[in-house]
Structure 1
Amino acid sequence: MCSLSRQTVRRNWSLYAGSFVALAVGVFLLGLAATATAATIAYHGPASASIAVTTLGGDGTPPERVTVPLSDADVSGLQTVLSMVGTLCGFITIFVIASTFAFAVASRRRELGLLRLIGATPRQIRRMVLGEALVVALAASLAGAFFAQFATPLLLRKASYTELAPVKLEPASPWVPLAIAVGAGLLVAMLGARSAARRAARVAPVDALREAALEPPRIGPVRIVFGVVFLAGAIAMLTLIRPSSGEGAVPLAMFTPMVLVIALTLLAPLVVPPVARLWAVPVVAWTQASGRLARSNVLAAPRRSASLAAPILAISAIAGSMVLSLSFAADSAEATIRDAVRAPIVVTGAPPADAPGVKAVDAGLPVQLVRVAADYAELEDAEGIDPAIASQTRDLRVLSGDLGKLSGNTVAVSKEMSGFEGYRVGDEVSVVFLDRAAVELRVVAVVKDAFGVNPSFLIPLDVARQHSPGTQVERSFVLPADGTDPAELVHRIPGAELATGWEADQAVGVRKGNQLGLVMLLGPAALYSAIAIANTLLMGSLQRRQEFVTSRLLGATPAQIRRMVLWESALVGAVALSLGTAITVAVGILIRHAMTAGVADVPVTVPWGVLLGIGALCLTLAVGSALAPTTYILRRSQPAAAVES
């Protein structure tokens, strides 16, 4: 069977070329993420850039000595992004490989039927298809790992000294991460080809006698059951995207589209035809014959159409949901910052102590501390405040407790931190300041969240000064004296600006950070998806040579065939983009509600240019990748080739 699998791949290279390229790129991206992650794990900053603490232990967990990196040596941001890139690339890889192998099996029904006719058992057919997948996967995985090794130093140079990794990263030993990437590529290929192998084993011997490559009219009950299960899981995940989800709403908005894409792909033979009929109505009315043929081809082969639409559906749904979620997150952050600042003036640093026309100055002192839990320790941002003044300059609405008791070794925590860690008024929070002083802070209040204005921990100003004596004030909120015009006071204080301008700058910073994360996350996935779309459509067109030549024999002109392929690929792309848009809209509506609950006058920023660009690029790739091989085939084939064996 191994020899037969190798010969089959060599003979049907055009079917498997797309799978090879798609898997090689997928392993390349996975290998790049793995080697870069290994570099972040191998990085050890100077001793002064970390602090060693002992966890509390408890519930069977013994205390443990751990080292916590400080902010200027923290590469956890890059590790998080790389893990998400690996997850996205792994998902798209298995998705594309499953689609391409399903298409390959559908294109070889007569060949598989002939093998069954001469005595091949279903088990042998299944082993042959899995062997073909292994041959392609082994070559593609090794090629992807080879190129990942050479690209790793370039990635680390680009990632060093950025917000995600504010240190210089050097390549680590590549053998383990590349072995993981190769193993993941092989596993992904075998998982993706498994369903295609089972489908190939069910091909009947009578299919060898068929001239038309018609698909069975129904899909199996197992596929329907799994499709419904994934759909139910996606609906359950959608219901969790609500205000009480906190920061968990964004990860849900990122991963829910993946589950929806899987569900719609499994149920595609049931979903594609009705959506295609709707899109075909204007096409048929406008084009007549070519549009009717395109509609018939899409409806007659829903599985093939689903395989061609799969990569378009995946990237449009995932990319659209992420773009919309991050845009709405920035809108929410902008409104939250605006509502949280009550002072009309913001000063960079601390204003002069004798500045005329000033009623009160909220010069909070930023500090960092290590929060120690039972089995881990984490670096947190805190701020030393004067609660009497800070309550006037910013929104410190108390949800429980009394902020007036913030003195001595006490702390006020945000609502989100209280929800995540279960802190209540009267609880003790074990912390270690950067001067190595271990302190127990008693919770005296739980205050409203105000991201970008208030950190999760607020401590007394004198405690902050005691443990961070050399720290400088970064920004101050200023209340003008009664009768003083804030616009005039701004000109008297160095580094001062109106709060509206400062809030706008903060919103711009949030959007820039989101854009960087979006490029890091979607850049590799979008590039890979574009290659997958082109490969899948190229494979689909290259396998239709006999169909095109027969159409020429019946009197169709090359221009008519090209128009048919144009509308057929456009229909497939429109169906995929419609389903992707539906997913994007559903996730967008829920994530906006979750993020804006309780915040007034939240702006609505929909990045239409990016969303329309994603759709236009997918549609252009779909049409271009189908027309290019069609034109090539028509130029090199004559109608007489239809009677050749």
Structure 2
Amino acid sequence: MLSIAWSTLRTRSLSFAGTFVALALGAALMAALGQVLASSLSSPDRPPQRYAAAPVVVAPDERLIVKSSYGESSVPLAEPSGLAPELADRLPGAVVDRIFPARLDGGPPAVGRPWSAARTAPQRLSEGRAPTGDDEIVVTAGARVGQRVRVVTTAGARAYRVVGLASAAAEPTVFFTDERAALLSPRIDALALWRPVAEVRAALGAAAGLGPAVEPGAAAGSGAAAELGSATAFGPATAPDAAQPGTPAVSSRVKVLTGQDRALIDPTREADDQARNNGNTIVGIAAGFAGFIAIFVVSSTFAFAVGQRQREFALLRTIGATTGQVRRLVYGEALLIAITASALGAVLGPLGARPILSRLSSLGMAPAWLALSTSSVPSYVAFATGVLVAVLGVVAAAWRAARVRPAEALRAAAVEPKAMTVGRWIAGGGLLATAVISMAVNAAGDPDGATNNKTFMPIVMLLIAGVGLLAPVFVRPVTALLAAPLTRLRGAGAVVVAAWAGASARRTAAVAAPVLVTVALAATLLGAAAMTDATKSAMRTAPVRADYLVVPAGAAGLDRQLVDRLRNVPGADVTTVTSTSLYTLEGAGTQLVKRPAEAVNPAALTTALSVPVAAGSLAELRDDTIAVSPTWELTLGQRVTLWRADGSRATLTVVALLGARSAADSYVASAHALSAPPSLAYVKLRPGASATEVRQALERATDGHNARAVTKAAWAATAMDRGTTASRLGLLAVLGIMLSYTVIALVNTLLMAAPDRAGEHAALRLLGAAKAQVLRYVMAEALLVVAVGVVLAAVATGLGLLGLYAALAQLSGLVAIDVPWQPVTGVIGLCGVLAVLTAVLAASRIKTVAMPRA
């Protein structure tokens, strides 16, 4: 059978060209994406930046460690606690580093540090001199020597004179004198040393008892050194509950960092980890869609080829071939194509890894410093995946070929086989039912899960696959509906075109399938992204009662001086909100979980926000109480032990259960914000106050503080724009992959279908139709088939977005079903152009018999 399969491939090379290209492209994509994924997993972390020149760094071990039911559970703390001042005294010659928000008015986000810490990077003067007075600074960017600028810190804004420029480093920096930096930020964030690490560890071992008492419930260490690679932790794990609100807690656990471990406290560490995760997510989604569409292309191509070869298989059955031999013949054809194409793609694929990685890096979806992996494993995996995809894609076609009866070889006319077999009905109906049931389950039981791409995208794939399998059922009625307006035109063109498309439902469905997949995926994914973003924005903005909001220009929050000025704005009530974190021991007391929380003034909360409450009352919110969302799984009046952002423990009573549409996961009193600055301020006009005067007063108050006052509508639009950029970029990358497969599938299917139409075209020529007329009919049929695919895609898109709508409506109420028509229309136009060009090219290459002239 392999020799027959090889002969078939040689004689029908055009029919299988698209399958070959699809599998080669799929293997190449898998290999390239696998190489990118391997680069992300195997690349070492970025070399140390902030302390590149300091061989030894002592830093606080910013972890909360709590004894759980099965040992210990630890999480990083959201709010730094700092080192005990006594440690600096025990380590003579150490550079005391303090890191705090300090940003030039109107400049880029930056940090403040003492000038003595400039040598840790190192950062050297490129112009000017070091600061010597309290009103002098050195900057890395944003100002000139001699210029007087305003610098905004958490305390407020103050004017300084720039006396020097320093070389750039990992982050823009404003250097103060050591004394001024200590005044602005008393917390010690690190100690940099140029001493043997053994001496540092010995000194820290003698100082292991420094710091506050051990946190009850936390793991009390013995003071012995615990080796963490080249990082050593000293002292007990503490989380002081004696710390007063606003007073930074001091951790007694410290760690000694050397070598690569110095990068653990770099400013880009968290962003680098997030970039890795973003890159891995995008690569995973793209690979999943590539595999899905590759199976779709292979299965549709082989199904169409089997339909064309009914008589060929019947002849094989007539001369004695068994059903198993026919199946093996089809599998052999698929394997021969798959092995060759996958091998080619696996070899060439790694060449595309660097361009893909560079593109992801330029879009901010992968770290720019990743080193390209040289592993050959992705190529082997891509080859195996390509072969597996071919086998899976040809299963249905092989069984269908084996069912051909020997008697069919005696038919004088080629009759299209039954469009819908029992297996196709079961498969299509099952996939469609599974997708619909999954959407119903999400809408009823987990509406939040519907907003997750990892949950929604598999449902979309099932939905589109189900509609694609059931497509032949709808071809004739859809064709008749689309062709109905054309019947009023003069001539027989409309009748001929509609008859062509409707006479062979299976062929029309096969040609329309690539259009269905591409348009449906584009419309559903982009529409779902727009709806999800709008829902998240609505959930955030709907509770807001304020007329204006004061937002910081960066992540540093609103400084204390600005907050005082806002509270003095006449005719307005100002409510500040501070984003913080709470840690709870969940999972039957086995795991610490970090939960977001909003610290607010309870008396002013309802003035600024309309918070949905399912039970209890926010009026009882005090320093010893908390309001939580249903995800906490707590009951009204229950007392819960938790840990605050600095690790200090608190026991609070639940006084309110928030509604399902609450924008916050929990609310606590302002005392639990500790030293974190407010992240937002709500401004509500008092009765009779002039909106213009209040707006002008807000602009004066925010001037020079790296903040701005905006209306609720402007704030909502800005928040939505920030949230949509990354998701849209990822979706566009996926759409690029889909379009490449569409080109292959659409062109290949039309080229395969063209020889079957030669007799029909010849009949038209014999009836007097000119060659140009035949080509116009071909163009019209191609556009009609694309229109059929678009209608089927609209059905799949409508079902998918309606299911999503049912889930999102429970989160934020009525949601507009929004499909970004510009990219979707572009996809449809591309499909139309490809279909027309391919159909005309294929028809013009086939020789037909013209009517003899008189």
Contact 1:14 1:542 in 2 (8 A): no
Deviation larger for 604-613 or 560-569? 604-613
Q: Could you say what secondary structure the match of 1:625 adopts?
A: helix
Point out the more displaced range, 182-191 or 584-593. Answer: 584-593
Residue 517 of structure 2 aligns to which amino acid in structure 1?
A: A
Paired AA for residue 145 in structure 1:
A
Equivalent in the alignment of 1:532: 745
Return closer, same or farther for 1:325/1:540 CA change in 2, 3 Å cut-off. Answer: same
Deviation, structure 1 residue 338: 3.5
Separation in 2, partners of 1:199, 1:298? 23
Q: Secondary structure at the match of 1:595?
A: helix
Could you tell me how far apart the structure 1 residues matched to 2:473 and 2:27 are? 32
Match of 2:332 among 98, 122, 131: 131
The question of whether the paired residues in 2 share the 8 Å contact of 1:552 and 1:639 is answered with: yes
Would you say the 8 A contact 1:113–1:208 is kept in 2? yes
Which residue in 1 is equivalent to 2:673? Answer: 464
In the alignment, which of 479, 504, 523 is matched to residue 684 of structure 2? 479
Change (3 A) 1:72 1:265: closer
1:194 is displaced (CA, Å) by 1.0
Deviation of 1:56 after TM superposition, in Å, equals: 8.0
What SS is found at the alignment partner of 1:353? helix
Structure 1: distance between partners of 2:765 and 2:425: 39
Ranked by relative contact order (alpha carbons within 8 Å, sequence separation 6 or more), the top structure is 1
Matched, 1:412 2:621: no
Change (3 A) 1:143 1:428: farther
Q: Structure 1's 44 and 246: CA in aligned 2 closer, same or farther, altered over 3 A?
A: farther
Q: 2:542 is paired with a residue of what secondary structure?
A: helix
Kindly state the Cα deviation for residue 152 of structure 1 after the two structures are TM-superposed: 1.9
Trace 1:547-562 onto structure 2 (pairs within 5 A).
548=761, 552=765, 556-562=769-775
What displacement does 1:570 show?
A: 2.4
Distance in structure 1 (CA, Å) of the matches to 2:828 and 2:61: 46
Describe the SS at the equivalent of 1:242: helix
Preserved CA contact (<8 Å) 1:49 1:70: no
What letter matches 2:657 in structure 1?
Answer: V
Corresponding residue number in structure 1 for 2:782: 569
For each residue in 1:516-571, what CA deviation from the matched residue of structure 2 results, as whole angstroms up to 9, or x when unmatched?
Answer: 34323333223323432233223322564566456656654322321332232223
Offset at 1:395? Answer: 2.6
- CA-to-partner distance for each residue in 1:296-330, whole Å, 9 max, x for gaps? 33333222222212111122222222222222233
Superposed counterparts of 1:401-550, under 5 Å: 401-404=616-619, 406-407=621-622, 411-415=626-630, 417-418=631-632, 422-425=633-636, 435=646, 443-448=654-659, 454-465=663-674, 469=675, 471-480=676-685, 483-492=688-697, 493-494=701-702, 495-541=708-754, 544-545=757-758, 548=761
| Residues 456-465 or 306-315, more deviating | 456-465
> What is the CA–CA distance in structure 2 between the aligned matches of 1:127 and 1:62, rounded to whole Å?
57
Distance 2:655 2:769 in 1: 82
Q: Which residue of 517, 533, 538 maps to 1:314?
A: 517
Counterpart residue number, 1:398: 613
Indicate how the Cα distance of structure 1 residues 576 and 162 shifts in structure 2: closer, same or farther if over 3 A, else same. Answer: closer
RMSD value over aligned CA atoms? 3.7
- Structure with greater proportional strand content: 2
Write the letter of the residue equivalent to 1:295.
Answer: A
Aligned partner of 1:246 in structure 2 is: 447
Aligned residues: percent identity?
Answer: 30
**Bigger mean CA offset, 37-46 vs 261-270:** 37-46
Aligned to 2:257: none
Structure 1 Cα separation of the partners of residues 288 and 385 of structure 2: 11
Residue 233 of structure 1 aligns with an amino acid whose one-letter code is T
Q: Deviations over 1:238-274 (max 9, x none)?
A: 4346376322234565444432332233333332222
CA distance in 2 between counterparts of 1:400 and 1:56 reads 32
SS in 2 for 1:120: coil
The 1:380–1:519 alpha-carbon spacing in structure 2 relative to 1, beyond 3 Å, is farther
Residue 353 (structure 1) aligns with = 564
Amino acid of the structure 2 residue aligned with 1:563: R
Change (3 A) 1:598 1:108: closer
CA contact (8 A) 2:805 2:817 kept: no
Q: Which amino acid aligns with 2:421?
A: G
Distance apart, 1:231 and its partner CA: 3.0
Q: What is the distance in 2 between the residues matched to 1:381 and 1:561?
A: 67
Identify the range of structure 1 (539-548 vs 95-104) with the bigger mean alpha-carbon deviation: 539-548
In the alignment, residue 311 of structure 2 is paired with which amino acid?
A: R
| Partners of 1:215 and 1:300 within 8 A in 2 | no
Rate the CA distance shift 1:216–1:274 in 2: closer, same or farther, 3 A.
Answer: same
User: Please, what TM-score do these two structures have when normalized by structure 2?
Assistant: 0.65
Partners of 1:42 and 1:50 lie apart in 2 by: 26
Aligned counterpart, 2:273: 73
What's 2:838 paired with?
625
- Of 815, 821, 826, the match for 1:613: 826
Gap change, CA 1:190 and 1:378, over 3 Å in 2: farther
Instruction: Show the counterpart of 1:299.
Output: 502
Unaligned runs of at least 5 residues, structure 2: 49-58, 78-268, 553-557, 703-707
Partner residue of 2:385? 184
Name whichever of 486-495 and 553-562 sits farther off.
Answer: 553-562
* Alignment partner, residue 193 of structure 2: none
Deviations, residues 424-460 of structure 1 (Å, cap 9, x unaligned): 4466778776656677776543324667xx4424344
Match in the other structure for 2:598 = 383
Secondary structure class of the residue paired with 2:520:
helix
Aligned partners of 2:571 and 2:690 also within 8 Å? no
- Between the aligned partners of 1:50 and 1:199, the Cα distance in structure 2 is 65
Alignment coverage as a number of residue pairs: 625
Deviates more, 1:32-41 or 1:345-354: 32-41
Mapped to 1, the partners of 2:312 and 2:425 lie a distance apart of 27
Classify the secondary structure of the residue corresponding to 1:119: coil
Distance 1:385-1:164 versus aligned 2 partners, 3 A rule = farther
**CA contact 1:243–1:595 (8 Å) conserved in 2:** no
Cα distance in 2 for partners of 1:56, 1:288 equals 85
Q: Residues of 2 paired with 1:381 and 1:318: CA distance?
A: 34
In structure 2, the partner of 1:273 is 476
**In the aligned structure 1, how far is the partner of 2:327 from the partner of 2:834?**
33
**How far apart, in 2, do the equivalents of 1:52 and 1:67 lie?**
4
Letter in 2 for 1:610: P
**Whole-Å Cα distance in 2 between the matches of residues 619 and 335 of structure 1?**
37
Q: How big is the shift at 1:476?
A: 1.7
Q: Secondary structure at the match of 2:414?
A: coil
1:73 touches 1:167 (CA, 8 Å); kept in 2?
Answer: no
The residue identity in structure 2 corresponding to 1:83 is G
For 1:10 and 1:455, locate their aligned partners in 2 and report how far apart those are by CA, in whole Å.
65
Any unmatched runs of 5+ in structure 1? Answer: 641-645
2:808–2:815: 8 Å Cα contact kept in structure 1?
Answer: no
Shift of 1:42: 3.7
Cα distance change on mapping 1:303 and 1:638 into 2, 3 Å: closer
481-490 or 99-108: bigger deviation: 481-490
Q: In the superposition, relative to structure 1, how do residues 362 and 103 fare at CA in structure 2: closer, same or farther (>3 Å)?
A: same
Which amino acid letter does the alignment assign opposite residue 560 of structure 1? Q
Contact 1:253 1:322 (C-alpha < 8 Å) held by counterparts: no
Change (3 A) 1:234 1:606: closer
SS in structure 2 of the partner of residue 382 of structure 1 = strand
Letter in 2 for 1:115: L
1:639 and 2:849 equivalent? yes
Q: Classify 1:155/1:286 alpha carbon distance in 2 versus 1 (closer, same or farther; 3 Å).
A: same
- Whichever of the two has the greater Rg, that structure is 2
